Homo-oligomer: A and B are copies of this chain.
């Protein structure tokens, strides 16, 4: 999945690199180039063709009904089929206003329907999830410098800024997101930094199925009936979004290496 309006952009170059790299490693790859596809971004009544014009559009209910009846639009159908087919989803985009471009948000809003990605008809979120068993990798280009997204950086840590995507979309639907891959300082990126970024990205793609995902917490065991984290699971003093990631020392026991399993 790639979302940049310019065919010669850094995002397009990283997408082409990833496709080549993964194919050379023997993977089958399917690309959704949202701008090239002229992807419709806004959810509306046209997304649920059977919806009576005189009925109030309740998006959740209408999405569920259309999804379960197999009556979504062909563009959404095709994207759901690609996600179902995949073992891993790679999202390539420029960070605009500290989030994904609108066209990619529209891919989230229109493809990840109630009945497909969440809701009563599929396994519960954050543990199994409708799309469980899939890896996910966010690859993002950022104009600003890396220090501004570091632990004390003014924009917030990149992991926190991307929480709505990493935890809210990917982990929620059952995918296992890896740490994001980011290229910073992309305004007039020197050629040698682009080459270095490609080498690093190649290593990350090599680890797509091997690297440890972000150890987000499962809903069923670690949260109570109000969906609040049970007391005592975190390191003392932990607050905010850090609560929802298992501390490093718990990582090994939660994900035993295969040699020890």
Residues in A lying within 8 Å of B, measured CB to CB: 5-6, 8-9, 35, 39, 41-45, 56-60, 94, 96-103, 105-106, 108-110, 112, 126, 143-145, 147-148, 150-157, 160-161, 163-164, 167-169, 187, 217, 219, 223, 226-229, 237, 239-244
Indicate which residue in B41, B147, B241 contacts A240 across the interface (CB closer than 8 Å). B241
Measured between C-beta atoms, what is the minimum distance from A143 to chain B in Å? Answer: 6
Measured between C-beta atoms, what is the minimum distance from A227 to chain B in Å? Answer: 4
A-B contacts, 5 of them at CB < 8 A, read A6-B57, A9-B56, A151-B239, A152-B243, A241-B241
**B228 contacts A150, C-beta separation under 8 Å:** yes
Indicate which residue in B58, B102, B143 contacts A6 across the interface (CB closer than 8 Å). B58
Whether A5 touches B42, Cβ cut-off 8 Å, given contacts A168-B155, A239-B151, is: yes
**B161 contacts A6, C-beta separation under 8 Å:** no
A240 cross-chain contacts in B, Cβ below 8 A: 156-157, 160, 239-242
**B97 contacts A168, C-beta separation under 8 Å:** yes
Indicate which residue in B161, B217, B226 contacts A164 across the interface (CB closer than 8 Å). B161
In chain B, what residue has the closest Cβ to A38?
B42
**A145 contacts B112, C-beta separation under 8 Å:** no
A163 cross-chain contacts in B, Cβ below 8 A: 98, 156, 160-161
CA distance A103 to B219 in the complex (A): 31
**B43 contacts A41, C-beta separation under 8 Å:** no
20 other contacts beyond A99-B164, A151-B228, A156-B163, with CB at 8 A cut-off? A5-B42, A5-B43, A5-B45, A5-B57, A6-B59, A9-B57, A41-B41, A97-B105, A97-B112, A97-B168, A98-B163, A126-B154, A145-B226, A150-B228, A151-B239, A153-B228, A160-B160, A160-B163, A161-B163, A164-B164
